[in-house]
Amino acid sequence: MSELLEDEYFRGMMRRNLVLPANLTSPSLSPPFLLWRLTTDNVWQRGQYHTYADAYRSMKKQLEKPTTADVAIVSRRKMFPPPIGFKWKAGRFPWCARCRRPSAFRLRYTHHATRGVEITTDESVRCFYCGIRRVALPRYSPR
């Protein structure tokens, strides 16, 4: 994430507050934003947030910790395209519309985002951060 934030287009996108429609933020639903943190000890930690602003503030704090290897803010309700002008190695790291960042998609039979859930499909190519299946995402190219 630290490297991605060096890009002005990506940084601008991350700084913009996301406000979801009211029907996607009902108090009866679980919080719409997750923050996944990978520690330097290869341990995954997760935080849940009711607003993007809270998730973003927490992300900034986590990035300051020397024990943080990487972070991703995940939208549990809506997918987002890459920001216009942002260039990345799209062939190697496809855009994850749920994490709002380039990600590695790997064949995994277990994933930290699916703890305790039996995976019942052979199509297990999943986002490294949020665990969404590759087939569930729209395809994006740099624009």
Range of the domain at 60: 4-136
55 assigned to some structural domain: yes
In 3D space, the residue among 25, 17, 105, 107 whose CA is nearest the CA of residue 57 turns out to be 17
- pLDDT tier, 140 (very low <50, low <70, confident <90, very high otherwise): confident
pTM higher than 0.85? no
Q: Which residues contact 134 (CB under 8 A, 6 or more apart)?
A: 94, 105, 123, 125, 126, 127
**50 vs 27, more confident:** 50
Average model confidence (pLDDT) across the chain: 85
142 assigned to some structural domain: no
For position 115, what pLDDT does the model report? 59
For position 46, what pLDDT does the model report? 92
In 3D space, the residue among 78, 79, 44 whose CA is nearest the CA of residue 62 turns out to be 44
15 assigned to some structural domain: yes
**83 vs 109, more confident:** 83
For residue range 30-78, what is the model confidence (pLDDT) as tens digits? 899 999 999 999 999 999 999 999 999 999 999 999 999 999 999 988 8
Q: Return phi, psi of residue 11, to 5°.
A: -60, -45
pLDDT at 80 over 80: yes
120 assigned to some structural domain: yes
Domains of the chain: total: 1
143 assigned to some structural domain: no
Coil, helix or strand at residue 132: coil
98 assigned to some structural domain: yes
